[in-house]
Structure 1
Amino acid sequence: MNKKTINYLTIGLLSLFFAGMIASCKHDDDEVLTPTDPVVEPFKGLDSVYTIERFRVLSIPTQLSENLTWSINDSLISQNSELEFISPKATTYPLTLKIGNNADAKVYHSKIRVTKEAGVLSKYISKVFDFRPAVGQFMNEIPEYNQGNTAVNMLQKANASLVGSNSTMISLGGFGGYVVFGFDHTIPNLDGRDFKILGNAFFGNAANDPRSGNCEPGIIMVAYDKNKNGKPDDNEWYEIAGSEYFKNTTVKDYSITYMKPNENKTPVAGSEDWQADIEYIKWTDNLGNTGFKTRNVFHSQSYYPLWFTDASYGFTGTRLKDNFYDQSGNGSYWVGKSYEFGYADNAPNNDEASNIDISWAVDRNGKYIKLPGIDFVKVYTGINQEAGWLGEVSTEVAGAYDLRLK
């Protein structure tokens, strides 16, 4: 045996020795387990009865992927693996689950007992979760900004304005400015329109189009609190597809950025520098456009939210086609056309067009989504336009309420 062979044997024996030592010192806690799929319990049928308060969602999961139908009194209510059921009425419903489509289909029967809630529900907004307005002539006025106020203070003021039956108005400013609010119960998604959003829209007596006047449409987003954590999560939002949603004049994923203005400029009507004076807050968008949110003689305060410290800020969302036009032809009478349905501050509060149907909700791809109901609403200004001496088109919100809770 030569010297090289002896060296190889020595190295091999040492390797085996140390491997054995490592194995003997290894603890059970150090072992890396191969991940496995979660254990899915086989479906064992329905409970004899399920109990839920009205305006609350009952969830019955089955973990089944085969064909199934849920029905009440022979009326199909769902074909999903998980039933999500909600009712505004306290009564008992006969529930049937059918699995399969052939003669071997399995049928299960149960009951859903809907009871009156223990407390008192309000049909009005119960909480404002977020308030981030864009620039505009009513900014820092409704709600009012006071020196030293922070975003937390302004959110509290928006909350005080919108919660309850005696709500007052807030302004969202130009395109993208938004407010997010919720209810103390789930508004059920039933046949017809389900909730109303209040604004300050009105039809003009002198407008050539009878459904035109001061209409400043806001995009509406809705969310169902599926995980029951009491807050609107980013992955729960769906857009209400109003009458303009599928038109090629509507721009999806439109982005705008507003620049903090020079507050030393004050417009003087009739002066030679009038045009330069009113070009107040510069904006740019993701389409390569640039422009100004104008200043007018009716509002002298800052149009930039004074609790915002950044030199610029912006928004992204769905932009609607401009709806204001100069009916007079000389700039003296501007009117905003009301879109047919599906927007906030788009029609008077007593008009059917201010009522919203949850079934209009679509996902990011424009596909209609079937929600059992909604818990949260987001409204943002959907127009980026200057309407002459009227100033920017800005959505106002003056409250909202559930049309199902009587």
Structure 2
Amino acid sequence: MNKRTLNYLKTGLLSLLFAGIIAACQSDDEVVAPVPVDPEVIPPAFKLDTAYTIERFRVLNIPTNISGKITWSIKDSIISENSELEFISTKTATYPLTLKVGTDKVFHSKIKVTKEAVTLSKYISKVFDFHPAVGQFMNEIPEFEQGNTETDMIKKANSYLVGSNPAMVSLGGFGGYVVFGFDHTIPNLEGRDFKVLGNAFFGNAANDPRSGNCEPGIIMVAYDKNKNGKPDDNEWYEIAGSEYFKNTTIKDYNITYFKPDENKAPVPGNSGWQTDIEYIKWQDNLGNTGFKTKNTFHSQSYYPLWFANASYGFTGTRLKDNFYDQSGTGTYWVGKSYDFGYADNAPNNDEASNIDIAWAVDRNGKYVKLPGIDFVKVYTGINQEAGWLGEVSTEVAGAYDLHLKK
């Protein structure tokens, strides 16, 4: 048998094999013509003979290492144009998958999405870090007990926030944060994807109907691309809320808080309205200095007592001050709710407390396309004293996936 005949037979066998695969993948009402395949351009990781299998709310990764124009589609809908496909679904189904390389090379397979082996929870499953700033609720929610370490306080925050009946933790002034995760990937689908709970409410006497006790927190999200079960530094993206691109928002704002001598700490008078009790000094990277004040409602230390250092600080995005004295006499302060994209910024039953993963941006403010997220970080985005109310401090009272239904 000569070489030309051998090559002819090889090509014919491959074409017949591929035609059989396409016939097996097509739906009852859909006919797909067999496409001759050059075996040299078949992606090494692409399955032509068997379907990919993945559970609901898990990301399927299919790398190709192919440069040039690539399109992935399910039926007539293009789902990605990246060399690596990242696919996630909330439904159990079998999806016909098509990969097109260049303008004329087409490959077919299937993705079979199965029900998860272990029951998933739509709520927070673990707190990874809790590092609050100073504030009037510090050492109270969660409660500090003598001898507690940072690890102990993270465990307490975990006991507060995990599950379907969470309690509330306070993050203190600007920069204070909590990091938590879920037992599955929250998918990035059309519309808003998850909700962060807080204690925001609108004031009945506020002139602006969307103002009251609103203490916006910046939200960061991370997708566990390397599947190591923890949020890595290079996986974080900021949710670009309504204020992100405004010139009133300060990026890379840094603040440092200085530990006070509690033996010399001022004691407020009998009136809780008093606002001039200078207590914890702070300075920022813009040359500003100031004090976090102390009031009569909370007499404990406002500095986290499990922090041994004489000072500590944070860097992040600072939002424009949102509280103002509506009364003009210091008796009625209200905080304006920003339009979207922040924690503790609107009541829990309000659409503004729902977050869209599609709002995530990188360090340069460029939108990124994530298949979903596994981790969330929330930190206080305001550095302001609101009169007798004290510091503006974001509170977190849980979070949950909007797509996971029972």
Letter in 1 for 2:338: Y
Quick check: 2:135–2:303 contact (8 Å CA) kept in 1? yes
1:63 aligns with 2:65: yes
The Cα of 1:402 is off from its aligned counterpart by 0.3
- 1:139 aligns with 138
Q: Secondary structure at the match of 1:97?
A: strand
Give deviations 1:258-295, integer Å, cap 9, x for gaps: 00012132433279xx776x100000000000000000
Give deviations 1:346-386, integer Å, cap 9, x for gaps: 00000000000000000000000000000000000000000
Letter in 1 for 2:65: Q
The Cα of 1:41 is off from its aligned counterpart by 10
- 2:101 aligns with 99
Distance in 1 separating the partners of 2:302 and 2:269: 18
Q: Secondary structure at the match of 2:71?
A: strand
- Structure 2 unmatched ranges of 5 or more: 1-39
Distance in 2 separating the partners of 1:53 and 1:139: 41
Letter in 2 for 1:400: A
- 2:238 aligns with 239
- 2:151 aligns with 152
1:258-297 alignment runs, 5 A limit: 258-264=257-263, 265-269=265-269, 278-297=277-296
Distance in 2 separating the partners of 1:355 and 1:123: 14
Distance in 2 separating the partners of 1:183 and 1:143: 21
- Structure 1 unmatched ranges of 5 or more: 1-39
- 1:302 aligns with 301
Distance in 2 separating the partners of 1:270 and 1:184: 48
Runs of 4 or more above 3 Å deviation: 44-48
- 2:319 aligns with 320
Distance in 1 separating the partners of 2:41 and 2:283: 55
1:337 aligns with 2:341: no
Give deviations 1:56-103, integer Å, cap 9, x for gaps: 0000000001101001121010000000000010111111111113xx
- Which of these two proteins has the greater Rg computed from alpha carbons? 1
Quick check: 2:268–2:294 contact (8 Å CA) kept in 1? no
Distance in 1 separating the partners of 2:358 and 2:174: 25
- 2:179 aligns with 180
Give deviations 1:96-121, integer Å, cap 9, x for gaps: 111113xxx10001110000001100
Give deviations 1:279-327, integer Å, cap 9, x for gaps: 0000000000000000001000000000000000000000000000000
Letter in 1 for 2:97: L
- 1:18 aligns with none
Give deviations 1:2-56, integer Å, cap 9, x for gaps: xxxxxxxxxxxxxxxxxxxxxxxxxxxxxxxxxxxxxx99724433310000000
Quick check: 1:266–1:300 contact (8 Å CA) kept in 2? no
Letter in 1 for 2:146: Q
Identity %: 81
Quick check: 1:46–1:108 contact (8 Å CA) kept in 2? no
Quick check: 1:93–1:112 contact (8 Å CA) kept in 2? yes
Letter in 2 for 1:182: G
Letter in 2 for 1:51: T
Distance change (3 Å), C-alpha of 1:41 and 1:307: farther
Distance in 2 separating the partners of 1:213 and 1:127: 31
- Number of equivalences: 361
- 2:15 aligns with none
- 2:80 aligns with 78
Distance in 1 separating the partners of 2:404 and 2:356: 15
Distance in 1 separating the partners of 2:301 and 2:335: 25
CA RMSD of aligned residues (A): 1.4
- 2:364 aligns with 365
Distance change (3 Å), C-alpha of 1:85 and 1:267: same
Distance in 1 separating the partners of 2:266 and 2:158: 32
Distance in 2 separating the partners of 1:389 and 1:148: 32
Distance change (3 Å), C-alpha of 1:117 and 1:270: closer
Distance in 1 separating the partners of 2:201 and 2:326: 16
- 1:117 aligns with 116
Letter in 1 for 2:60: L
Letter in 2 for 1:154: M
Q: Secondary structure at the match of 1:346?
A: coil
Distance in 1 separating the partners of 2:189 and 2:131: 31
Q: Secondary structure at the match of 2:152?
A: helix
Distance in 2 separating the partners of 1:395 and 1:383: 8
TM-score (normalised: structure 2): 0.87
TM-score (normalised: structure 1): 0.87
